[in-house]
């Protein structure tokens, strides 16, 4: 299966600062990727879907100006949490889609980034 | 509202016991179904998936799941669990109307007593 990495794995920051999380596909090129957020003891909630070279599609309730997504290449996507606040503390997970035909594809997940905003 | 439901939040079993985790979804039409597992401290891994064909799907590590369309269910089973099966299990659905989007259930924590 595909290998997906995220950096950093853990970050602690002060309220009001911005944090950038990188997601890399290590062994294949992915045109579509997803960012999820997982609160403690809860499920993954899809935040946004992005396609390489175009703007991300955000889920309802997700602030696009707060969670900036850049998918500039087929192997790298970044999520920037701007002006982070304590309520943004969460586990952020990226995933890549494995194929072009959505009816037969599988997503491969990164290890996640734990963000703690003080 | 469209949703994925996992009724058991925490299941505790002894080794060698049989396992069945429930999953129901509310989407109509064509769906793709998945079970993902998250071992402690690790990332999500695909356990098994159903796209079409035989509704009884075999996955890794002895897991299987059965798609019952009339019941909108995709329950996960394993005849004999091991301590190493301790993990969080997530059922997920890709609605056919939403390309690539996967909706996750709330997860079931499985604890196996050695």
Report CB contact under 8 Å: B90, A43. yes
**A63 Cβ contact partners less than 8 Å away, ≥ 6 residues apart:** none
CA dist., res. B31 & res. B43, Å (int):
24
By CB atoms closer than 10 A (0-12, 13-18, 19+), residue B99 is middle
Give residue-wise pLDDT tens across range A30-86: 778 899 999 877 788 999 988 888 889 999 999 999 999 988 788 899 999 999 999
Give every CB contact of residue B33 below 8 A, 6+ residues apart in sequence. B23, B25, B49, B50, B65, B67, B74, B91, B92, B93, B94
Both structure tokens of A97: 């889609």
Going from the C-alpha of B76 to that of each of A81, B87, B107, the distances in angstroms are 36, 14, 12
Report how far residue A6's alpha carbon sits from residue A93's, in angstroms, rounded to the nearest whole number: 8
What value does the mean pLDDT of chain A take? 87
Chain A residues with CB inside 8 Å of B51's CB?
A: 103-104
Task: Say whether A44 and B49 touch across the interface (CB within 8 A).
Answer: no
Instruction: Report the residue count for chain A.
Output: 118
Q: Hey, which residues does A96 pair with through a beta bridge?
A: A33, A108
Would you give the end-to-end CA distance of chain A in angstroms? 36
How sure is the predictor about A1, in pLDDT bands with cuts at 50, 70 and 90? low
Whether residues A102 and B105 touch (CB distance < 8 A) is answered with: no
pLDDT digits (tens, 9 = 90+) for B8-52: 999 999 999 999 999 999 987 888 899 999 998 888 888 999 988
Q: How far is A86 from chain B (nearest CA, A)?
A: 23
């Amino acid at each position: 299966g595909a290998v997906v990495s995220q950096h950093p794995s853990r970050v602690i920051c002060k309220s009001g600062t911005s944090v950038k999380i990188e997601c890399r596909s290590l062994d294949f090129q992915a045109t579509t990727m997803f960012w999820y957020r997982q609160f403690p003891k809860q499920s993954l909630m899809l935040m946004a879907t992005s396609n390489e070279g175009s703007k991300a599609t955000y889920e309802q309730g997700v602030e696009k100006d707060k969670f900036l997504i850049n998918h500039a290449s087929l192997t790298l996507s970044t999520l920037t949490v701007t002006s982070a606040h304590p309520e943004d503390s969460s586990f952020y997970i990226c995933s890549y889609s494995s194929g072009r035909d959505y009816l037969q594809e599988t997503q491969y997940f990164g290890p996640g980034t734990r963000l703690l905003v003080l | 509202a469209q949703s994925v439901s996992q009724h058991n939040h925490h299941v505790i079993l002894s080794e060698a016991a049989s396992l069945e985790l429930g999953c129901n979804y509310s989407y109509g039409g064509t769906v793709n179904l998945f079970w993902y597992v998250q071992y402690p401290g690790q990332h999500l891994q695909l356990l098994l998936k159903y796209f079409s064909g035989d509704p009884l799907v075999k996955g890794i590590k002895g897991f299987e799941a059965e798609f019952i369309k009339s019941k909108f269910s995709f329950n996960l089973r394993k005849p004999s669990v091991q301590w190493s099966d301790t993990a969080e299990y997530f059922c997920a659905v890709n609605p056919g109307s939403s390309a690539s989007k996967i909706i996750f259930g709330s997860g079931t924590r499985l604890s196996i007593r050695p």
